Amino acid sequence: QMRTTRKVSVWPVGLVGGRRYERPVVENGRVVGWYTGWRADRPFAIDMAGFAVSLQVILSHPKAVFKRRGSQPGMQESDFLKQITTVEELEPKANNCTKVLVWHTRTEKVNLANEPKYHLDTVNIEV
């Protein structure tokens, strides 16, 4: 699905942010918000594994940088994406962000500390 990215595409990521998954919330084919366990106020409340950028966009924004240092914790993705796109331009993938096709994995026990006690998402996603 990444191959069809025209500018910047997004999708859910499993086992991230202390939840079973985080995802862009999509209405009528447009990203309208974020289902996330941490700092939903971020401009792009998304994990690094949750987006792709076309090479043409990278080439057309030569000053855009992904800061290894200098961003607030958890803001690297937002700081980068703000340089190249807007939320309105995001291209939802994975069946309008209703399927987890990517997992944030580590060689440690999964932390689900931010998982809501009662399922608050509007879609039922299998993880």
Q: Which residues are catalytic?
A: 77
Tokens at residue 25, please? 């919330």
- With beta carbons less than 8 A apart as the criterion, state whether 49 and 93 touch: no
Beta carbons within 10 angstroms of residue 105's beta carbon: 11
Taking alpha carbons only, the member of 82, 77, 65 closest to residue 22 is: 77
Radius of gyration of the chain (CA): 14
Alpha carbon distance 43, 75 (integer Å) = 9
- Does an H or E element contain 14, and which? strand 13-16
